[in-house]
Amino acid sequence: MDSRFDNISPIDYRYSPDGPEKELLSEKARIVYQLKVEAALAAGLARYNICPPQAAEEIIKACRKISPDEVYKEEEKTKHDIRALANCIRRNVSDKAKPFVHFTATSEDIKLTSESLRYKDITQQFIIPQLKELEKSLIEKALLYKGTVQTGRTHGQHGVPITFGFALSEYVSRLGARIEKIAGSASELRGQMSGAVGAYNASSLFIKDTEKFESELVESLGLKRSQHSTQIIEPEYLTDFMHSIISCFGVIANLADDIRHLQRTEIAEVAERFEAGQVGSSTMPHKRNPWHFENIKSLYKEIMPRMITIYLDQTSEHQRDLTNSASARWIPEILSVFMFAVKRMTKHLTNLMVVDKNMLRNLELSKEMVVAEPLYILLAYHGHPDAHEYVRKMTLKSQKTGRNLRELAMDDKDIKRYLERFSGAQMDVIRHPERYTGRSENKCMQTCRYWKKRLEL
Strands 270-271 and 224-225: unpaired
Cβ count near 121 (within 10 Å): 17
Output the smallest distance, CB 87 to its own copies, in A.
9
How far apart, in Å, are the Cα atoms of 46 and each of 49, 79, 80, 100, 409? Answer: 5, 30, 27, 10, 87
Residue type, 171: Y
Nearest residue (CB) to its own copies, 239 versus 350: 239
Cβ count near 100 (within 10 Å): 22
C-alpha count within 13 angstroms, C-beta hemisphere, residue 46 = 17
Output the smallest distance, CB 337 to its own copies, in A.
9
Output the smallest distance, CB 413 to its own copies, in A.
20
Output the smallest distance, CB 64 to its own copies, in A.
17
Residue pair 142/168 in contact by the 8 Å Cβ criterion: yes
Output the smallest distance, CB 138 to its own copies, in A.
12
Output the smallest distance, CB 215 to its own copies, in A.
13
Dihedral pair phi/psi, residue 429, rounded to 5° = -65, -40
Residue pair 310/239 in contact by the 8 Å Cβ criterion: yes
CA distance 150 to 143: 14
CA dihedral 389, 392, 398, 400 (to 10 degrees): -100
Output the smallest distance, CB 60 to its own copies, in A.
18
Contacts of 138 (CB under 8 A, 6+ apart): 168, 171, 172, 175, 349
Output the smallest distance, CB 214 to its own copies, in A.
10
Output the CA angle 20-297-158, nearest 5 degrees. Answer: 135
Strands 270-271 and 353-354: antiparallel
Nearest residue (CB) to its own copies, 216 versus 236: 236
Residue type, 301: K
Output the smallest distance, CB 129 to its own copies, in A.
19
Dihedral pair phi/psi, residue 79, rounded to 5° = 55, 25
Nearest residue (CB) to its own copies, 187 versus 309: 309
How far apart, in Å, are the Cα atoms of 13 and each of 2, 250, 291, 297? Answer: 12, 25, 19, 19
Residue pair 60/39 in contact by the 8 Å Cβ criterion: yes
Output the smallest distance, CB 69 to its own copies, in A.
6
CA distance 42 to 456: 39
How far apart, in Å, are the Cα atoms of 402 and each of 67, 115, 134, 168? Answer: 77, 66, 45, 34
Nearest residue (CB) to its own copies, 124 versus 325: 325
Output the smallest distance, CB 219 to its own copies, in A.
18
Nearest residue (CB) to its own copies, 113 versus 362: 362
Cβ count near 54 (within 10 Å): 13
CA 200, chain centre distance (Å): 37
